[in-house]
Amino acid sequence: MKNVVILGSTGSIGTSALKVVDDLPDRLRVVGLAAGSNVALLREQARRYRPRLACLRDPAAAAELEATPGLPCEVCSGEEGLVRLATMPEADIVLLAIVGTGGLRPALAAIRAGKDLALASKEVLVMAGSIVMREARAHGVRILAVDSEHSAIFQCLDGRPIESVRKLWLTASGGPFRDPQQWPQHRFAEIRLEDALQHPSWVMGRKITIDSATLFNKGLEMIEARWLFDIPIDRVEVLIHPQSVVHSMVEFVDGSWLAQLSTPDMCLPIQYALTYPERVPSGRVQTDFVKLGALTFEAPDRERFPALDLARRAGRIGGTLPAVLNAANEVAVAAFVQGRLSFAEIPERVRRAMEAHRVIEEPTLEQILEADAWARRVTLEI
């Protein structure tokens, strides 16, 4: 039996993780749950799974939850509460599914407490990959990918040395604007929020869905892969695969390829991370290749989707620049959601913030957080 802490339990990854717990009650037990401000759903989850500790990032929301009659757990709040959950003595693995930069300190706290980390918050490695992976090695813990793409690569590598790899290939659906006939570049300024939220393959949170539409999500995944698999970013490529069945591939130096395939369902990579190194039976994911028919691939359109080149540049230069890329994108996406910025302007604002930044090559955690805050201020000014 593994004791699991889920940070971000009310989001799409967190709710899928609880489905996996439901599927495997003899293998997984929830001991901690954390959310942002969704009191109603966290209350329901706490009553059902009876964790020892629950946390809401918003203190007012935590006070409301704590006032619930008969609540079967202790309640805490804020970043201190997240760190407390991440370091619970009884926890075996921490699933980190907090959107944005708020997961960085809890991730490091979990690692330093000797907890394996099932990582769905790619921003943690984008911002501080060098520090996070160094700490994981020092404390002998595993960073287990939850993103379907990185889980696929991890499964394909299966312990093989990175020296045997020519390239890692991350697949992308291409998002709702993949078709250049329907969405030529000059129409990007017309894109509405409801258009950007129509992802063709996955049901996800708002921020990651918009990032998938701009391909910034894939750019962030390139940087994440660079750190997870200790490979130069120039050996990480992106391929558009509209069916979202091939989740990613590894090209080896001898010319052979391995791929991991399944119908798109986040429960599969979540289960693999939570039960690793075992592969546990499940009837949740069913793949019928006869019904699927053809699987197609195409090169990404880097002119219409400049996010990929911006991310590659940030990953190549390193230092504080990936943190600036990530923070500027978060601010630009928020402005688009609020109707203050067009879809077409998102990558342009990120580019301008990156060009204005003076890179620190080997930053401390404090310098990374300062670069993050700087990028947010500058992008708002832009």
Instruction: Write the DSSP string, 295-349.
Output: ---B---TTT-THHHHHHHHHHH-TTHHHHHHHHHHHHHHHHHTTSS-GGGHHHH
Q: Does pLDDT of 148 surpass 90? A: yes
Structure tokens at 225: 């892969």
pTM beyond 0.75: the answer is: yes
Q: Does pLDDT of 292 surpass 90? A: no
Q: Does pLDDT of 200 surpass 90? A: no
Question: What single DSSP character describes residue 234?
Answer: G
3-class SS of residue 248: strand
3-class SS of residue 143: strand
What is the reported pLDDT for 228? 96
Long-range CB contact pairs, 75-83, < 8 A, 24+ = 79/105, 79/106, 81/34, 81/55, 81/56, 81/57, 82/7, 82/34, 82/55, 82/57, 82/106, 83/109
Q: What is the pLDDT of residues 201-216, one digit of tens each?
A: 666 678 888 999 999 9
Question: What single DSSP character describes residue 284?
Answer: S
- Residue 295 corresponds to which amino acid? L
Q: What is the pLDDT of residues 39-69, one digit of tens each?
A: 999 999 999 999 999 999 999 999 999 999 9
Structure tokens at 235: 């050996």
Structure tokens at 178: 């993949």
Q: At residue 112, what are phi and psi to the nearest 5 degrees?
A: -70, -20
Structure tokens at 293: 């028919």
> Which CATH superfamily, name and number, covers 2-145?
NAD(P)-binding Rossmann-like Domain (3.40.50.720)
What does the longest C-alpha to C-alpha distance in the chain come to? 63
Residue 160 to residues 145, 153, 191, 199, 237, Cα–Cα distance (Å)? 16, 11, 43, 34, 19
Q: What is the pLDDT of residues 65-102, one digit of tens each?
A: 999 999 999 999 999 999 999 999 999 999 999 977 78
Determine the Cα–Cα distance for residues 178 and 6; give it in Å rounded to an integer: 34
- Residue 200 corresponds to which amino acid? P
Structure tokens at 229: 């698999």
Domains of the chain, by residue range, sit at: 2-145, 150-317
Cβ contacts of residue 382 below 8 Å, gap of 6+?
A: 349, 352, 353
Average pLDDT of the segment spanning 376-380: 96
The full length of the chain comes to 382
What is the reported pLDDT for 304? 95
Question: What single DSSP character describes residue 101?
Answer: G
- ∠17-244-22 over CA atoms, to 5°? 20
Determine the Cα–Cα distance for residues 139 and 124; give it in Å rounded to an integer: 17
| Percent of the chain clearing pLDDT 90 (strictly above) | 88
- ∠191-192-193 over CA atoms, to 5°? 130
Determine the Cα–Cα distance for residues 265 and 244; give it in Å rounded to an integer: 10
First to last CA, the chain: 51
Full DSSP string of 163-214: GGEEEEEEEE---TT--TTTS-GGGGGG--HHHHT--SS----HHHHHHHHH
